[in-house]
Amino acid sequence: MSIGRNTVYNLVGTGVPTLLALVTVPAYLHLIGPERYGVLAIAWLVLGYFGVFDLGLGRATAQRISALREAGADARATAFGTALVSNLGVGVIGALLMWPAAYAMFSMEMKLSPVMRHETLLALPLLALAVPVATTLGVFSGALMAREKFYLTNRISIVNTCLFQLLPLAVAWFTGPNVATLLAASITARMVGLVLYWRECNREFGADAFRRFDRGQLRELLSYGGWVTVAAVFNPFIVMVDRFLIGAMLGSYAVTVYVVPTQLTGRVLTISAALCNALFPRMALADGDDAVRLARDAVGVQLALMTPLVGGAYVLMQNGMEFWVGHKLGYDATPIARILLLTSWVNMFSNVPYSQLQARGRPDLVTKVMLVQLPFYLVSLYFALVAWGVWGAAIVLFVRYLIDLTALNWVNARRFDHLVPIVAALGGFGVIELVLPHVPMALWARFPLAVAVGLVFAVQSWFVLPTQLHDRVRHWLHSARRLREG
């Protein structure tokens, strides 16, 4: 199937829930309040973190089935069934480990009011129940993506994620704000997705695939998944530790000031994730010049498509934040949002070497890069929070992703694709930051500047587009001119 078509499916699959999330955040803040929303956001993060108890089998299944493209259906079904059976067992173990860990965090580490603490601790059994659900979803979606069933996976993802956003909101509307009922609604949404994935996997791999357990296949999956698991354990920790430290040192409102712009700016990674997921089955088979071309073209497409949009969004960030979540929270979060926007923009380029290393069967290199960074990041984060508060946490995160991008490119292929235009764009953002204080806050003044910035970056984008896209754009322009003249 076409990589472009698969990328579009992935974009729709993430874009629809993204728009819904942006709409529902103000509703959540209104119905349950900033403090409870901060608790709920951390609970969702904890659930996502303990989803790593699939032992890397979700990603290992995707890589293994992708590599078995030319093999028989029985081999693919055995790989899927082995991963699924093993995953259910480790999901239960993950649930048993998560319960006391979450209890310790919410009862002792988080700064919460007594009422909120009691409400949260009562909801912890639901978080434990959700762990095997979360781990199994990874195996199902990974198996279908390996077979390039992107239309199916994204159709299910849209339904699942929309329910995940809307069901807790509906519960809050009808029964009032309570962490336990909100989490129960979230888990119900995930279980609907589980049923839908199960039905499609039965069609693709056979209804008896779960009986095809093979110890030899398990060893191969775990040898790959072991490094993925180490990364999956520590990477969410790195992602979440800033929220936990902010909550412990600065309080739940500070978590909201940080998390709300994170949810907005993290959507920059939508195109990157869509493209890299579409490329993953091809990356598993590519080598030599084909692998170099895939990586370079992927970085170029992201740079060309996203930089003009990010430049315009950077200019309009304060207008957008205040419109989205209100004047006070929007004003407080705007400086954080601008830094996090650039952080996400830098991070999307890391997805290419990250995906390529995993597709080539070298997840160990990804994990080693991350582990080397971890102690330096933790120390820097603590002292930045002490010195500069939430703003310091955002700066440290930005620097961390710059280092991550450089290191992953080096271990992947000893090269840095499109280094010059990326550095030039960062310089352009620095100029924008110097100019913005001298431009009135009103939308009539900021919007033309945003358009001008987007056009400047669009000119740069033309020089990094892959050759085949250059030819396609020229063809479209030629066709449009002929239609106009005719």
The upper half-sphere exposure of residue 68, i.e. CA atoms within 13 Å in the direction of its Cβ, equals 23
Query: 155-198 pLDDT, tens per residue?
Result: 888 888 888 888 888 888 888 777 778 888 888 888 888 888 88
Domain count, the chain: 2
357 with 303, same domain: the answer is: yes
Residues 353, 377 within the same domain: yes
- Domain extent, residue 264, equals 224-465
Q: Is residue 299 part of a domain?
A: yes
Look at residue 480 and tell me if it is in a domain: no
Other C-beta atoms within 10 Å of 425: how many?
25
Asked if residue 289 lies in contact with residue 262, where contact means CB atoms within 8 angstroms, the answer is no
- Dump pLDDT digits (tens) for 252-301: 788 888 888 887 787 787 777 777 777 777 776 677 677 778 788 888 88
Is 479 a member of any domain? no
In a domain, 421, yes or no: yes
CB 346 within 8 A of CB 268: no
199 and 228 together in one domain: no
Section 72-94 average pLDDT: 74
Is there a domain that residue 146 lies in?
yes
If you average pLDDT over every residue of the chain, what do you get? 78
CA distance 54 to 476: 46
Q: Are residues 179 and 246 in the same domain?
A: no
Whether 324 contacts 330, CB under 8 Å: yes
Helix 114-122 to helix 179-205 angle (10° resolution) is 30
Q: How high is the pLDDT of residue 437?
A: 87
Q: Is residue 150 part of a domain?
A: yes
pLDDT attached to residue 146: 72
Whether residue 144 is predicted with pLDDT greater than 70 in this model: the reply is yes
Same structural domain, 142 and 21: yes
| For residue 86, pLDDT beyond 90 | no
Same domain, residue pair 306 and 378: yes
Mean pLDDT in residue range 76-86 = 74
Q: Is residue 482 part of a domain?
A: no
Quick: pLDDT tens for 227-246: 666 666 666 677 778 888 88
Indicate the pLDDT class of residue 474, thresholds 50, 70 and 90. Answer: low
pTM over 0.75: no
The answer on 232 and 121 residing in a single domain is no
* pLDDT value of residue 36: 77
Domain end: 168, 186, 213, which one?
213
d(CA 382, CA 389): 9
Considering the domain architecture, whether residues 333 and 412 belong to the same structural domain is answered as yes
- Pair (51, 151) in one structural domain: yes
Q: Of the candidates 190, 213, 236, which is a domain's last residue?
A: 213
| Cα 17 versus chain centre, distance | 13
Write out the two tokens for 374.
């971890």
Q: Does 113 share its domain with 180?
A: yes
Tell me, yes or no, whether 189 and 297 share the same domain.
Answer: no
